[in-house]
Structure 1
């Protein structure tokens, strides 16, 4: 009886709602699959953000009303430029935090321009190789995946297929 009650309580304690926002936004780096965590949500617009900017706009309007009496409560319009400034700073902070420290992948740059993202990753790895004193492999490296053939495609020298190809390629052309 006690075991059944425990199961019912365990099932009842699980939420049927989606998990709410937590302060630590967790994700995996798409390049190196390293688990990442930043201490802020990637998008501004949480209720606390509106409260913070709203209180700041209220204080600015209050100070403007005292300093310049002709403004009165029109200073509350300062919410718009304050929100624009807040969002610019917030997005810059997020962009600085989401760049992977292990592989140099910047997801925001990848969304804008893939080639720039590739060159940024190569620059990151060049810098990491230089720190360790290891020469960075160039594009003509032997292990370049775009140029190397898979091992299954390379036939052994003694196989019938390689002899047939070599016999055809070495045979002189016969005129008819």
Structure 2
């Protein structure tokens, strides 16, 4: 297999694994974000040339192995009677917040180092950051280990609205 096939395969497996971790953490509503690609691109004109520019949202890649390890430890504590279910839920929420914060920090650093990409709004609850800039530059961030998916801003905003109506 060539490098691009291996990279695409790795991205697919990562997203499946992250989905499993999110299921374990009780975050299934976030999984619908990966259903679409960069669809909010638009054409702009600069100095007589036409370049594709747009905005998108980037979903941060979480350290799924570390999350699963800590979740297993929490589940073991519940089974051993060292922790009740309420405490376990609280620990799981804290665990998710910790790893999402770390992932967003890493992602934001990567995005800020990418020429042609401007970091926008952060959606902590979705582990997402909006970006603007040259379409090629935005797509180039997919090569980063800090990126799980690239989705449209509309998908992120729709998910936020769903969360707000459920709260």
Task: Decide: shared fold, TM above 0.5.
Answer: no
Larger radius of gyration: 1
Alignment TM-score, normalising by the size of structure 2: 0.30
Give the number of the structure with larger relative contact order, counting CA–CA contacts within 8 Å between residues 6 or more apart.
2
